[in-house]
Chain A
Amino acid sequence: MKRYFTKDHEWLRIDGGIATVGITDYAQAQLGDVVFVEIPPVGSPLTKGKEAAVVESVKAASEVYAPISGKVTEANADLESDPALANSAPEDAGWFFKMTVADEGELEGLMDEASYRAYTEDL
């Protein structure tokens, strides 16, 4: 399944018209130990590039931006109860939320996995 990546270190995967969104392994390594996540309630409208969620490490609070526009359809309850999943399985069980895809055209501006990994190599 094709995955897309943002410059702000979110990933997204489309499955049956629904996007699953999380933070990348690179992002979790930068953040350090995640102790709290704040995920928008189901139904919340999200706008591409705007704040969608908050991830708090021991050090600081950081924003997670919406990689595309749409509406939240599900929050990861496992992540809310065990925020350390964002460290141990950031690109898998540690996903943040699922959302609708308002405009498939927005996907075109995102990076594929190879481009993203190359992008983080240079950071």
Chain B
Amino acid sequence: MADTVETLEVLPLDVLHRELGARMVPFAGYSMPIQYEGIIAEHQWTRASAGLFDVSHMGQILFDPDADAALETILPGDITGLAVNAIRYSMLLNDQGGILDDLMVTRRANDLYMVVNGATKHDDIADMAARLPAGTRIECRPDWALLALQGPKAVEVLERLAPGVAALSFMRAGGFTVGGVEAWVSRSGYTGEDGYEISIPAADAARVARLLLAQPEVKPIGLGARDSLRLEAGLPLYGHDLTPDVTPVEAGLSFAISKRRKIEGGFAGADRVLGQLLNGADRRRVGLRIDGRQPVREGAPVVVDGAAVGLVTSGGHGPALNAPIAMAYVPIALAADGTRLQVEVRGRLLDATVVPMPFFPKNYVRQGGKA
């Protein structure tokens, strides 16, 4: 682990992480817990029970409710038609349709609540300030913490502490009280499991986190398992699987371009993105299952008949699958499920197969029954 010269910001739960024996590493400008007990144990615990993640490095931003139309000029999602307490996954696009960030927007009674990635939040705010009409309220809330409670037992744990949260379906949110603290609770996450994301004042974060950790189903989970969980769930990681060089269509995220927006356009990069929707893109993000046990990592070339044709953008060991998996960009002709290709690691070619994502089935609780 390289020494860093820049000053790292400290999470509201820093003292608690150290008390819990976390190994702290620099990430997104913060000192963050990469693991407590061990990545595989934490990964399996989250898949079987409930894991608590501190994601307070992420950016929480407020807009006025009538900023919806302006936001639609830089996001391809339907924001004006978003119902109160509904959450939409979307992307901040540049004028070429490249992805500057992926994010969540919730319409609340009195505002629009956006959650963006920690590593990109400062750039996002500067970009939005430049492209949204002058005077648009873009209110960053560094005084709020964000906790994620993820796993099949998250619902029974949180319902015990905040009655009513079990009635939220996937991608719905509402205001609740958790341990006497006013909280904004979203049924969403980044693990492929059922669960919640809980926004609370930073000053109360330790109290709420300790209350959650006192539940027998809950253990603290670090960034290492967060990464392996999202990888198995087929969820892209900004800065790795998503960059300004790729469009939503290339990234396999066309589902996030709302139907009305596909018809009407009117968002940054719409000409290119809608053109790709109609005619297809040249390349696509795919899932790879690697033969054998050797992990492949970000940056490994994808090879066909000895020629490099693509690049792995994230990869590693999938603990619940007990096998190496990866995401890669490949030419569209090689993107079909079942396509055999190779990945080069340290000069050796490993055989791999294009497989559907998620690698591990998602366990979301959608409206009207299980996913």
B297 adjacent to A35 (CB under 8 Å): no
- Residues of A27-73 contacting chain B, CB below 8 A: 32-33, 35-36, 38, 54, 56-61
22 contacts between A and B (CB under 8 A): A33-B38, A33-B41, A33-B317, A33-B319, A35-B295, A35-B317, A36-B293, A36-B294, A36-B295, A36-B317, A54-B346, A56-B294, A56-B295, A58-B39, A58-B40, A58-B224, A58-B228, A58-B319, A59-B224, A61-B295, A61-B297, A83-B293
A112 nearest CB across to chain B (Å): 27
Chain A residues with CB below 8 A from B297, complex form? 60-61
The answer to whether the Cβ of B234 comes within 8 Å of any Cβ in the partner chain is no
A59 CA / B40 CA spacing, docked (Å): 10
Residues of A within 8 A of B (CB): 32-33, 35-36, 38, 54, 56-61, 83
The answer to whether the Cβ of B316 comes within 8 Å of any Cβ in the partner chain is yes
The answer to whether the Cβ of B353 comes within 8 Å of any Cβ in the partner chain is no
Chain B residues with CB below 8 A from A38, complex form? 294, 346
Question: What DSSP secondary structure best describes chain B's contact surface?
Answer: mixed
Chain B residues with CB below 8 A from A59, complex form? 34, 39, 224, 316
Chain A residues with CB below 8 A from B224, complex form? 32, 58-59
The answer to whether the Cβ of B35 comes within 8 Å of any Cβ in the partner chain is yes
B294 adjacent to A33 (CB under 8 Å): no
Interchain CB contact (< 8 A) of B40 among A33, A54, A56:
A33
Q: What are the nearest 4 A-B pairs in CB distance? A: A35-B317, A33-B40, A58-B39, A36-B294
A63 nearest CB across to chain B (Å): 10
Binary interface encoding of chain B residues 313-332 relative to chain A, with 1 for a CB under 8 A from any of its CBs, else 0: 00011010000100000000
A35 adjacent to B35 (CB under 8 Å): no
A35 nearest CB across to chain B (Å): 4
Binary interface encoding of chain B residues 32-56 relative to chain A, with 1 for a CB under 8 A from any of its CBs, else 0: 0011001111000000000000000
Chain A residues with CB below 8 A from B35, complex form? 32
Chain B residues with CB below 8 A from A33, complex form? 38-41, 317, 319
A94 nearest CB across to chain B (Å): 16
Chain B residues with CB below 8 A from A54, complex form? 346
A67 nearest CB across to chain B (Å): 21
A116 CA / B221 CA spacing, docked (Å): 32
Q: Which residue of A lies closest to B39 (CB)?
A: A58
A78 CA / B40 CA spacing, docked (Å): 20
Interchain CB contact (< 8 A) of A32 among B39, B293, B346:
B39
Q: Which residue of B lies closest to A61 (CB)?
A: B297
